[in-house]
Amino acid sequence: MAERPPKLYTSERRSTKKSKKPKDTTSWIKKLFGLFKPKKKIEKKKSRNKISIRWALFKLFLTLGAWIFSFGILAILWFSYDLPDVDQMMVSSRKPGVTIQAKDGTVIGTYGDLFEEMVKLNDLPPYVPQALMAVEDRRFYSHFGVDVIGLFRAAYTNYRAGRVVQGGSTVTQQLAKNFLQNQGKYSVHDRSFRRKIQEVILAVWLELKFTKDQIMTMYLNRVYFGAGTFGIEAAAQKYYYKPAKHLTVYEAATIAGLLKAPSRYSPKSNPERSNERATLVLTLMQEAGYIPSVKKALEQKHDEITENYVDIKSNSYFGDWIYEQIPSLIGSYDEDLVVVTTLDPFMQQQAEIATKAKMEELGKKFKTTEMGLVAMTPNGAVRAMIGGMTYGKGLYNRSTQALRQPGSAFKPFVYLAGLEAGMTPETLISDEPFSIGGWTPKNFRTYKTVGEITMAEALKKSVNAVTVRIAAHVGGPKIAAVARRLGITSDMITDLSICLGAMEVTLLELTSAYASFANNGNFVTSYGIVEIRNKKGDILYQHQDPDPIQVIKPNNLNDINRMLQNAVAHGTGRAAQTAYPTGGKTGSNGDKDAWFVGYTSNLVVGVWTGNDNNAPMIKNSTGGRIPAQTFGLFMKPVLEANPPSTAIVTAPIQAANDNAEVSLDEGIILEGDSGSIEKSAIIEDSSEIDALLNQVAEE
């Protein structure tokens, strides 16, 4: 029997069974886009499907890229359409710069925007730009205008600190920002998103258009370094009085440190902070490999910026006074100017020392907070000016702007009017109390009546009763005319209260009026500007001394000078004595103002102290205290350095005699006499005099 072949159960079974549909492994993304179909048995279709996938992905990314690119282009166009013309990059819109110099050429103040000639990068020591890069943009030569690494570093640092302590702007971005602000696009404090985007766009454009060295050159010549200075050359001249190419490593680090906060880190106004900042910059320079040693660089530091430097804070009141006068002398101007002034740096320094010392010693005791001082030559050239104890506290100049009552410091004009009316220093006048129109003039609280005293003695002791008798004799209008003739320009009353200084004047005009006593009786106008010229050297203005105008007759000048010298030598102004003949007069006003104005043959000085809010000082805060003492403290070193070549020529005061007596009782009823009170013709409103006189406390 033949063998039957084995049964192929498996194959037969499989062949007889219906084949199953392959499982679909297509991802949900493929189904979503409907781009692919399930696998087919035919390999050709599989290959075709693979090509379709790649092509679809390519089209997808191409489309997304096109959209992103288009959006980017539109954004750039949107933020760029109003960008200023970059061809104007080196054209500056600025205020004309004004450099104010002392009489010896020392720079004492700058105003406006100061630019110097552009410097080339190759002309500077390498550590000058390196100092800027170390503190502002260490990767300047490796980024494309925006430092991505720096941005992330700054963001991380600020996050760790919990506040903004570090910025990520590059030098190129800062240059772009400077340009946008210079063109008036944004203010200094603008922090808008639009400004930042435009800043980035312009920074990238600058990187494409200019080389790195060109960008650094533009940056060095445009950036602001404080005190009105723009550019490294102007900063070097401003802070160190030398060209930028001669800066030391320490000086370069100091100037680079100004960029963060120019006022805060100024080597002039804040030397300690400036040194700390410079040390930080030097440390960063060492870390970057720019310098070998911080210690060696610090050895170049000088305690004094320059031998001729005078602290700008002590000069600013004077500088402001000068700056405001320029248009009245040359009209409007659109070019940089140099103004040479009358200020003497040594005298200015001594004025600051004296006022500060006396305020620290006596200010709290006498409850006074402010002081003014003006020193001038007899022909009116202002040599020193203190406008207050703290410049920047309202910028209010107590020497030129404050109108205050001078009190007895006005009496020399009353006595001069008496001399012109025929009286002499030896004229005997009663110091007894008297009444007029219901008013009884009061002498200073410590004065004891003696009966009759001479004019000279009355001025020496500042006796009010005698002063009022003189005023009643000559008349208020006459006194006002004398004061006006000597240079008092403020409004003056013409009633009897004028004799005790019950009007308001500035310290500058009162000191200028006293200058006539030291100027041979000639009229004096105070001035501070000697010459104005432009940067080319063209003289736009030059002071010319006017022809002398005699406002005091020689015999009267002699008499008033010896009386005022007597007031300093033996009277209320004793604290103002110097080693040379000195005249002067104290004054006070109800404990609200205290004055002393005095002079030698070569210098006239006025001092005032009080409070801006008119708060009273303590009682007896007379001109013989802080003002006279400040005068003496100031004059001692000044006269040692500048001794008077001549003395104030006067004749000795003669002893009183009966023949010198002049009757001053016309129109006045002495207290205790009978009869009706006859009002003097020169009194306009005697009802107000008592109130005024009660406010005037005299020495």
SS3 call for 440: coil
* Fold match, 115-298 / 352-694: no
What are the C-alpha distances in Å from 695 to residues 43, 89, 446? 117, 63, 16
Taking a C-beta distance cutoff of 8 angstroms, is the pair 233, 244 a contact? yes
What's the one-letter identity of residue 545? D
Question: Measured in whole angstroms, how far is the alpha carbon of residue 245 from the centre of its chain?
Answer: 29
Q: How high is the pLDDT of residue 297?
A: 87
Can you name the residues that pair with 505 across neighbouring β-strands?
Answer: 404
Q: For the domain covering 115-298, report its CATH number.
A: 1.10.3810.10
Tokens representing 350? 């001594």
DSSP H helices in 90-192: 127-136, 148-161, 171-182
Unique residue bearing structure tokens 């890229």: 65
Can you name the residues that pair with 585 across neighbouring β-strands?
Answer: 597
Taking a C-beta distance cutoff of 8 angstroms, is the pair 609, 370 a contact? yes
Q: How high is the pLDDT of residue 304?
A: 41
Give phi and psi for 374, each to the nearest 5: -130, 130
CA 142 – CA 668 distance, rounded (Å): 94
Q: How high is the pLDDT of residue 470?
A: 95
Unique residue bearing structure tokens 């001479």: 454
Mean pLDDT for back-to-back runs of 10 residues, the chain (699 residues): 52 49 50 49 59 74 73 57 56 74 89 79 95 92 81 67 66 82 56 67 83 92 86 89 92 94 88 93 94 87 46 69 95 92 97 96 95 97 95 79 96 97 95 74 74 94 92 94 96 89 95 97 97 94 94 96 96 95 94 96 97 92 95 97 80 46 33 27 33 38
With a CB cutoff of 8 Å and minimum separation 6, the contacts of 420 are: 474, 478, 482, 553, 556
CA 172 – CA 213 distance, rounded (Å): 11
Residue 150 is classified by DSSP as H
Q: What is the dihedral of CA 628, 633, 637, 640, to 10 degrees?
A: 40
Question: Measured in whole angstroms, how far is the alpha carbon of residue 22 from the centre of its chain?
Answer: 90
Unique residue bearing structure tokens 């009643």: 472
> Where do the DSSP E strands lie in 271-344?
337-341
> Where do the DSSP E strands lie in 331-369?
337-341
Q: Where are the domains of the chain?
A: 115-298, 352-694
CA 227 – CA 224 distance, rounded (Å): 9
- How do strand 107-111 and strand 593-599 relate by DSSP bridges? unpaired
When the candidates are 3.30.390.30, 3.30.470.10, 3.40.710.10, 3.30.565.10, the CATH number that belongs to 352-694 is 3.40.710.10
- How do strand 98-101 and strand 107-111 relate by DSSP bridges? antiparallel
The residue count of the chain comes to 699
Q: How high is the pLDDT of residue 535?
A: 85
pTM of the model: 0.69
Question: Measured in whole angstroms, how far is the alpha carbon of residue 355 from the centre of its chain?
Answer: 19
- How do strand 224-226 and strand 229-230 relate by DSSP bridges? antiparallel
